[in-house]
Amino acid sequence: MSKAKVQELKFSDRRVFDNIHGFIRLTDFEWEIIDTPIFQRLRNIRQLGLLDYVFPGALHNRFNHSLGVMYIADRMVVSLQEKGKLDGKKAREIVRTAALLHDIGHYPWSHIIESVVKKDAKRKVPTPIDQINLELATARRSAIIDESLNESPSHRLNVSLYEQRNPTLDFAHHERMAGIILFNNTKLHEILLKKFKENEIKKIAQIIAGVYPGPEKLIIHSELDADRFDYLLRDSNQTGVKYGIFDIDQIIRHIDFFPDLDQREGLSGLVVDKKGQKAVEHYLLSRYFLYSTVIYQKTTTGFHKMAERIYTGLLERGEVKSYSDLIKMFDTKKESDYLSYDDSYIFEKLKSIDDGKILIRALRNQEVRPAFLKELVRKVLYRDPLKRVWEEQALLKKGDSKPHNLLKYVDQTTIDSIIAKSGVPKEWYITSKLSNPITSLSPSILIKDDTIDDEFIEYKIRIHKGKGSLVALAHEDSSLLKYLEKSELHIYGVYTKDDVYQKQILKAMKQYEKKNATTDQ
């Protein structure tokens, strides 16, 4: 196929060297974006939160990752354009820009803090939407709704840009925050206007958030997207674990786009030629192995659980930024406040609490007690991990009921009984519950737990077998995914403060099991 259909770009003479992809070429326009303070902020946000506490090399950041996603996304565009697809005006520039800016709205400590802010925003953002679950409806009744957001230009922009996502109430998602930045950061917006019209900037924002209806979205948002490709290769390299390495060249070479697939079945138009099938299977298995061994590693899980509770406790005391706080920053153009909202911001908060500069007060109806919060702060600052008391892992068929051994120490009735017997404060009986299909693991699953959002359609990967014949990879007889796609990974665990509490809880668990065994007889 002739390469004449590939949109030509005028690259700068300068290049940036990336340890994963080698030299990456950039246009002068992209160099301008990268040089803005708002983009440089990403240097100070680690890609994997506190994972370096376990894997010391995991110090890479969202800045590195964003460059890598742009590089891979561009290769995907070129591959499609060589096949006569994705030939819209400025398509290549738009996708490159969306990829470069896809994490511009990211929170400190990666997904850990985002989960807490999203949960808080769901309770407090004014909305006419009634179709929410009972637990959330109850939480909203007990929360103080921030009606001032109704008058916020930035929040109204958020609502209007992403109408398809509004029923999920995920207003504080970092992908939605990206759109607010694109329109509210004066310097960045001025640069974007040099290349794009306002409606094209809106398109970029919607591609980032996965709501744009065109094929450009799929390169950033699908099971075969540049974001997943880069973080898998990069996280594997930085942690020193080889599970995440896969043949990205083979996948990109064989991707194609068919526009007429049925969206109602969760199908995107992005497909892979039969010749690339094994490379795709390898990629999906690599993702499973990396996350099950690295991202969900027990010590990492413990630190992330502590970090989540720390931010919850500080948020309910107004000591850290909420969605409303961030929105008001954008409304008032306080860019410097947002620029300092990075990993250093969080660590400085923890240090100020530890040395007494920030006093943690008791609250009525508090979710996190002061003593508990201060102890968590100390443990995170000085790398004092939680002790794992118990853990069970299982691969189960989707829809099957979970076996007793998987649930026995994480259901509330059992928890109450064990806490009463052990004498351990209930806040130090920390549970972790992960359930996810093994072929669609996400870096944010770990800290979502029971508050996990339904992601937008997890697009099924299709294989092109020639002459227009398409089959879902999970239905292909020669594919391992035919079997693995039906399975879910479950990892349930119990963590506590230290060796003393660990022994007390283990003793109470044995007493509980003995009592239940006697009762059953």
- Residue range(s) of every CATH 1.10.3210.10 domain in the chain: 3-247
CATH 1.10.3720.10 assigned to 3-247: no
Does position 480 have pLDDT exceeding 50, yes or no? yes
Higher pLDDT, 334 or 80: 80
pTM: 0.91
Does position 454 have pLDDT exceeding 50, yes or no? no
Mean of the pLDDT values across residues 117-143? 74
**Two tokens, residue 120:** 């808080």
- With pLDDT > 90 as the criterion, what percentage of the chain qualifies? 65
* pLDDT attached to residue 139: 66
The length of the chain is 521
Q: How many CB atoms lie within 10 A of CB 64?
A: 20
Query: Alpha carbon of 67 to those of 58, 63, 183, 204: distances in Å?
Result: 17, 7, 21, 16
* Ramachandran bin of 220, using left for φ above 0, alpha for ψ from -120 to 50, beta for the remaining angles: alpha
Q: Which of 40-54, 288-302, 345-359 has the lowest mean pLDDT?
A: 288-302
- DSSP lists the bridge partners of residue 488 as 396, 437
* pLDDT attached to residue 451: 36
Does position 513 have pLDDT exceeding 80, yes or no? yes
Instruction: Assign 196 to helix, strand or coil.
Output: coil
Higher pLDDT, 255 or 469: 255
pLDDT classification of 127: cutoffs 50, 70, 90: confident
DSSP 401: P
Does position 456 have pLDDT exceeding 80, yes or no? no
Query: Any residues with CB less than 8 A from the CB of 108 and at least 6 apart, and which?
Result: 45, 341, 342, 343, 345, 346
